[in-house]
């Protein structure tokens, strides 16, 4: 749809703020105040088009040619704020944050090629880590999701769905509390609406939440129950392997009746890291703290004498499975960091090689024009 007339400025800002517009984006917009751009948020991405809205009107937009071909420019994803003219996206505003992972298929590759980033969603306030209390429940996977979210500098909230499958589901909460220090944990059941009211605070006007979890964890069902009607397709779970089918195949930003926004995501089968920041420290704080008491500063917590972490395992402070998961992710993040540095060195060498070739060509050209 196209806009026939420009809305009043104050009215426009009000609608934008309801969509999550803040001073972070307003400051950027002011640099282009004379260019006639319309700010809008990306609420859906298709193969060659983008659903965008300013909270009042919607457009099916396309990319300007510059954005299609310039590899140094951010490609719009669901949740992004963009500037448009005539339903053509001319610029993507700098994100306040983004949930990213390593592109699928690069997690186990032991080469030194740069890993590709896959941005799942942008400009978020909360990330719901959704886990069903059926075959989907896995503490090690929850730890991995926490590390992924912390790596991106985002706020995790753990949602345990399908509480109605158990007579006493509270013990699952205790298990998760033991590995998710300080993270809000909500026990819900979409079948009888248990615990849904506890999620209302995350859906206030202007707030954006995205959901991550396995296929069949109950993400789409949860969105439907919170909305009050079916807005996302749901699928059944295989009784043999306990896995769901990918009923959600795209990432759409849904305006909720509570005033906030939810981005549902397809199930994630491979949780490959992208950022290698402080996620591991935030997800495993007790191991990091005990590690400071080890005899050796570079202790690997495998066999070194005087290892306080191994002592913590022997004394029951840390489970052996949790320590093994920590080691595994630590190795993976170190390899990711190493691969990035190798990639940066390769780019720098290629750049200087290109400069050397240009200098050589200039010298050759100058020698041919001498009298």
CA of 311: how far to CAs of 215, 290, 302, 317, in Å? Answer: 38, 9, 11, 9
At residue 369, the pLDDT reads 61
Summary mean pLDDT of the chain = 83
Residue 154 has pLDDT above 80, yes or no: yes
- Condensed to tens digits (0 to 9), the pLDDT of residues 95-152 reads 999 999 886 655 455 555 556 788 999 999 999 999 999 988 999 999 999 999 998 9
Q: Are residues 199 and 218 in the same domain?
A: yes
358 within domain boundaries? no
Residue 227 is predicted with a pLDDT of 93
Structure tokens at 111: 């080469």
CATH code where residue 243 lies: 3.40.50.300
Instruction: Tell me which residue range forms the domain holding 169.
Output: 98-264
The reply to whether 247 and 182 lie within a common domain is yes
Give per-residue pLDDT as tens, 265-321: 886 766 777 665 567 888 899 999 999 999 999 899 998 999 999 999 999 999 999
Q: Residue 340 has what pLDDT?
A: 54
pLDDT of residue 232: 79
Claim to verify: residue 206 and residue 226 sit in the same structural domain: yes
Please count the structural domains in the chain: 2
pLDDT at position 240, please? 36
Q: What is the mean pLDDT of residues 242-247?
A: 46
Residue 356 lies in a domain: no
Q: What is the pLDDT of residues 166-221, one digit of tens each?
A: 988 999 999 999 999 999 999 999 888 889 999 999 999 999 999 999 888 889 99
Do 177 and 254 belong together in one domain?
Answer: yes
Q: Of 203, 214, 212, 201, which Cα lies nearest the Cα of 151?
A: 212
3-state secondary structure of 134: coil
Residues 351-363: what's their mean pLDDT?
72
Residue 277 in any domain: the answer is no
Question: Residue 282: its pLDDT value, please?
Answer: 85
Q: Over pLDDT 70: what percentage of the chain?
A: 79
Residues contacting residue 276 through CB under 8 Å, at least 6 positions apart: 151, 333, 334, 336, 337, 340
| pLDDT above 90 (res 87) | yes
What pLDDT, on the 0 to 100 scale, is given for residue 311?
94
| Assigned domain for 284 exists | no
Same domain, 88 and 164: no
| Contact residues for 361 (Cβ-Cβ < 8 A; gap 6+) | none
CATH number, domain of 17, equals 2.30.30.140
Bridge partners for 244 per DSSP: 237
Residue 76, token pair as written in the block: 């719009």
Secondary structure percentages of the chain, helix, strand, coil, to 5: 35, 20, 45
Dihedral Cα 216, 218, 223, 227, nearest 10 deg: 120
The verdict on 61 and 173 lying in the same domain is no
- The confidence score (pLDDT) of residue 6 equals 44
Q: Are residues 130 and 54 in the same domain?
A: no
Checking if the pLDDT of 257 tops 90, the result is yes
Is there a domain that residue 351 lies in?
no
User: Is the C-alpha dihedral spanning 177, 183, 216, 144 positive or negative?
Assistant: negative
Query: What confidence score (pLDDT) does residue 95 get?
Result: 96
For range 227-247, the mean pLDDT: 58
Residue 2 has pLDDT above 50, yes or no: no
Which pLDDT score is estimated for 242?
Answer: 44
**Contact partners, residue 255, CB within 8 Å, separation at least 6:** 261
Give the residue with greater pLDDT, 293 vs 366: 293
Amino acid 67: pLDDT: 80
- pLDDT score, position 266: 81
């Amino acid at each position: 749809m196209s806009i026939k007339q420009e809305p009043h400025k104050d009215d426009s800002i009000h609608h934008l703020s309801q969509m999550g517009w803040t001073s972070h984006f307003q400051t950027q917009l002011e640099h282009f105040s004379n260019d006639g751009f319309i700010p809008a948020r990306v609420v859906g991405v298709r193969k060659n088009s983008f659903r965008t809205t300013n909270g009042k009107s919607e457009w099916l937009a396309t990319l300007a040619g510059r954005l299609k071909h310039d590899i140094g420019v951010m490609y719009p994803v669901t949740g992004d704020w963009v500037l448009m003219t005539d339903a053509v996206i001319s610029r993507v505003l700098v994100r306040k944050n983004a949930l990213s992972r390593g592109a699928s298929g690069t997690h186990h590759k032991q080469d030194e090629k740069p890993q590709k980033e896959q941005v799942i969603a942008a400009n978020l306030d909360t990330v719901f880590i959704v886990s069903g209390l059926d075959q989907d429940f896995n503490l090690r996977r929850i730890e991995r999701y926490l590390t992924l979210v912390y790596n991106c500098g985002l706020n995790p909230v753990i949602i345990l769905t399908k509480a109605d499958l158990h007579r006493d589901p509270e013990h699952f909460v205790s298990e998760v509390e033991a590995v998710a220090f300080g993270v809000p944990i909500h026990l819900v059941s979409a079948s009888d609406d248990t615990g849904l009211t506890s999620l209302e605070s995350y859906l206030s006007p202007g707030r954006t939440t995205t959901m991550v979890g396995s296929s069949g964890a109950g993400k789409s069902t949860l969105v439907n129950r919170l909305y009050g009607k079916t807005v996302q397709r749901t699928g059944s779970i295989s009784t043999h392997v306990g896995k769901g089918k990918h009923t959600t195949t795209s990432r759409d930003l849904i305006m909720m009746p509570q005033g906030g926004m939810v981005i549902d995501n397809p199930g994630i089968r491979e949780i490959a890291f992208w950022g290698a920041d402080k996620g591991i420290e935030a997800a495993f704080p007790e191991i990091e703290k005990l590690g400071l008491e080890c005899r050796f500063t570079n202790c690997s917590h495998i066999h070194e004498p005087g290892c306080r972490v191994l002592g913590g395992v022997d004394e029951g402070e840390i489970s052996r499975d949790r320590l093994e998961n920590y080691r595994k992710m630590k190795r993976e993040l170190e390899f990711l960091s190493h691969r990035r540095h190798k990639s940066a060195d390769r780019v720098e060498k290629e750049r200087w090689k290109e400069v050397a070739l240009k200098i050589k060509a200039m010298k050759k050209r100058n020698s041919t024009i001498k009298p």
